[in-house]
Amino acid sequence: MKQPSKYELTRLKAEAHEKNAWEEVNRFKVAKPTSIRLSPQLIRDLEKITHLRGEKSYQTLLKRWVTERVGYEMELIDLVKSKKAI
């Protein structure tokens, strides 16, 4: 691929700084990094489970498990609230 000229580089850099030159992307959600301390034995166990389940990493597996559990707990909360409203 041909390298851009100095003029093209200058123009592209100027365009990159113009906010209206960028389209808005809505499909990405910003995640908040979180740190959880786990024992070495728990991490080894999670890595074994991860391998057996064919997951990418134990962090991915944990995230899925936590997401599922929080969803379940939120459904229970909604159920209790709806029962109290009756």
Residue 47 burial class via C-beta count within 10 angstroms: exposed 0-12, middle 13-18, buried 19 and up: middle
Residue 46 lies in a domain: yes
* pTM summary value: 0.59
| Count of structural domains within the chain | 1
Short-list 42, 9, 58, 61, CA closest to 69: 61
Q: How far apart are CA 51 and CA 75, in angstroms?
A: 30
Q: Is residue 73 part of a domain?
A: yes
Instruction: Please give the residue range of the domain that contains residue 63.
Output: 39-86
Q: Residue 86's pLDDT is what?
A: 63
Q: Does the residue 63 lie in any domain?
A: yes
Show the low-confidence residues of the chain (pLDDT under 70): 25, 86
The answer to whether position 26 is within a domain reads no
pLDDT number for residue 50 = 96
